[in-house]
Structure 1
Amino acid sequence: MSVKEQVLDAMKAAGKPVTAGEVEQATGLDRKSVDKAFAELKKENAIVSPIRCKWEPAQ
């Protein structure tokens, strides 16, 4: 499973907008990997930010 898939799964499991730090704690990945995955997912429009600094999967 790729880092991006792990990040998306953690976001879906949370069921609410989450920060990168919350994803880091939930997955056990290091923060740089999570930040890189967030950047790639943003470019792909796979995640959206309904609240400042919090993200959730796009509908």
Structure 2
Amino acid sequence: MDTKEIVLQTLKSSDKPLKTQDIVEKTGLDKKEVEKAIKELKNEGFIESPKRCYYQAK
């Protein structure tokens, strides 16, 4: 799986919105890679940000 898929699966499996650092801790991925994946997933409409710096799957 690529970084985007891992980030999306992590957000889908969470019952609450997660911060970037939460995703980094859960996945062990590099923070810059997670930030890039979040930006791409948000632009593609797979995730949303209910409040600043928190993300959840749509």
What is the TM-score when the length of structure 2 is the normalising length?
A: 0.92
**Structure 2 equivalent of residue 17 of structure 1:** 17
**Structure 2 equivalent of residue 3 of structure 1:** 3
Q: Give the count of matched residue pairs.
A: 58
Identity of aligned residues (%): 43
Give secondary structure in 2 for the equivalent of 1:51.
Answer: coil
What do you get for the CA RMSD once the two structures are aligned?
0.8
Q: Which runs of 5+ in 2 are unaligned?
A: none
Distance 1:56 1:41 in 2: 10
**Structure 1 equivalent of residue 40 of structure 2:** 40
Distance 1:12 1:42 in 2: 14
Structure 1 runs (4+) deviating above 6 angstroms are none
Q: Which runs of 5+ in 1 are unaligned?
A: none
